[in-house]
Amino acid sequence: MKKLRHELKFYINVSEYNILREKLQTILQRDHNAIDEEGYHIRSLYFDNCVDNDLFEKTYGIYKRKKFRIRIYNYSDKIIKLEKKSRYGEYVCKESLKLTKNEFDKLLGWDYDFLRSKESTLAKDFYLYLRSEHMSPKVIVDYVREAYIEHIEDVRITFDKYLSTSNNSTDLFNPDLVTYEVLKYPLMIMEVKYNSYLPDYIRDILQLDSHHRSAISKYVICRENRIQYYHQ
């Protein structure tokens, strides 16, 4: 059975972020993936079908929806993940499968057959969508993530900064990819993820009711910005 987790998203500003991160650093562990004080870089290539179902389902607030993406970290090809993120209201479920660089290149070359031979429900699911709905790469989503964790209820607090995209490329591994920020300073995104409940001492620090909770989708923000760019 797939594991569902709570996921709450908030827009916060830099002053709120500075206060929260100072408090969180005293009680939670920093994610071991951090390469410096800022955290680590995430780049994702999102897929959608020929009529942009995933884009519009989010815009229309459909209760049950999904997204497929391929994700890398710190511009490296050492870890390449195919991910499917499913959402049911405020609950999410994420499935993940590691790919090789050669497999990624095959996907971008419209060669999907290798997915059928993998012992993975996600691989077969992605293959089905690629074939039946003609899914294709749509947009690059870039940001820097600063994350804090608590093993009780698998709590994960993240600050996602410098949300950016590219208007002219979906080349995930291009070291010279030109991107621009789509969420302007001083805004950033805070995400709060946990299993069954959020421990009171963390809830007290975050003071969630004082922040602007929103149904934020980085994919939608970047796609809409890109669409507006080409309609100017």
DSSP state of 63: S
| Residue whose pair of structure tokens reads 């621009």 in the numeric block | 180
pLDDT band at 180 (very low <50, low <70, confident <90, very high): very high
| Residue whose pair of structure tokens reads 């959608």 in the numeric block | 48
Domain enclosing residue 33, as ranges: 5-230
Number of structural domains in the chain:
1
Answer positive or negative: Cα dihedral of 86, 92, 97, 102: positive
CATH number at residue 34: 3.20.100.30
Q: Give me the amino acid identity at 5.
A: R
Give the pLDDT confidence score for residue 232 in this predicted structure: 53
Query: Distance between CA 80 and CA 10 in Å, rounded?
Result: 28
User: ω before 175 within 30° of 0 (cis)?
Assistant: no
Please write the tens of the pLDDT for every residue from 38-67.
999 999 999 999 999 999 887 677 778 899
Q: Are 150 and 38 in contact (CB under 8 A)?
A: no
Phi, psi of 151 (to 5 degrees): -70, -25
Integer angstrom CA distances of residue 188 from 159, 183, 191? 7, 7, 10
Average pLDDT, the chain: 92
Please write the tens of the pLDDT for every residue from 132-159.
999 999 999 999 999 999 999 999 999 9
